[in-house]
Amino acid sequence: MTTLYGISNCDTVKKAQRWLTTNGVEFRFHDFRKDGLSEAQLREWVAALGWEALLNKRSTSWRALSDEIKNSIDEASAVREMLATPTLIKRPVLSHNNHVQVGFKESDYSALLT
């Protein structure tokens, strides 16, 4: 089963959805905002990719955090902040046959899915 995680108004998520559809890949879309995100799911991604790979430090949500939080961020606080504010997670997150990937590159999707 292929699942694409993200938020529906993200341009990169839209590009990934178009690529998946165009290439005939059946997938389920899971919107962080509408569908939520469990701590167990996030911890699986952190174990697979590392929290640094998941935390979007270029996001508006990151910039909105206090300097105290940003300057002392570690795995525990990153997980806590990403659960509280899912838009801190880089998008999209693709889950396919026990493989997890963050971001969208056509070449990476093609190598994994075709």
Residue 2, helix vs strand vs coil: strand
Given 3.90.1150.10, 1.20.1250.20, 3.40.30.10, 3.40.190.90, which CATH number is that of 2-113?
3.40.30.10
Confidence at residue 17, expressed as pLDDT on a 0 to 100 scale: 98
Q: DSSP labels for 21-80? A: HHTT---EEEEHHHH---HHHHHHHHHHH-HHHHB-TTSHHHHHS-HHHHHT--HHHHHH
C-alpha torsion angle, residues 63, 65, 66, 69 (rounded to 10): -120
* 63 alpha-carbon distance from chain centroid: 18
Confidence at residue 73, expressed as pLDDT on a 0 to 100 scale: 96
- As given in the structure block, the two tokens for residue 101 are 């990937």
Confidence at residue 114, expressed as pLDDT on a 0 to 100 scale: 80
The catalytically annotated residue of 10, 53, 65, 83 is 10
Cα angle vertex 87, ends 49, 96, to 5°? 40
Assess whether 10 carries a catalytic annotation.
yes
Domain-wise residue ranges, the chain: 2-113
pLDDT at 96 over 90: yes
pTM over 0.85: yes
Give 1-38 pLDDT, tens digit per residue.
Answer: 899 999 999 999 999 999 999 999 999 999 998 999 99
Give 33-92 pLDDT, tens digit per residue.
Answer: 899 999 999 999 999 999 999 999 999 999 999 999 999 999 999 999 999 999 999 999
Task: State residue 95 phi and psi, 5-degree precision.
Answer: -115, 125
| Residue 102 β-bridge partners | 93
Find the distance separating the first CA and the last CA of the chain, reported in whole Å: 14
Confidence at residue 1, expressed as pLDDT on a 0 to 100 scale: 87
Sign of CA dihedral 102, 107, 108, 113: positive
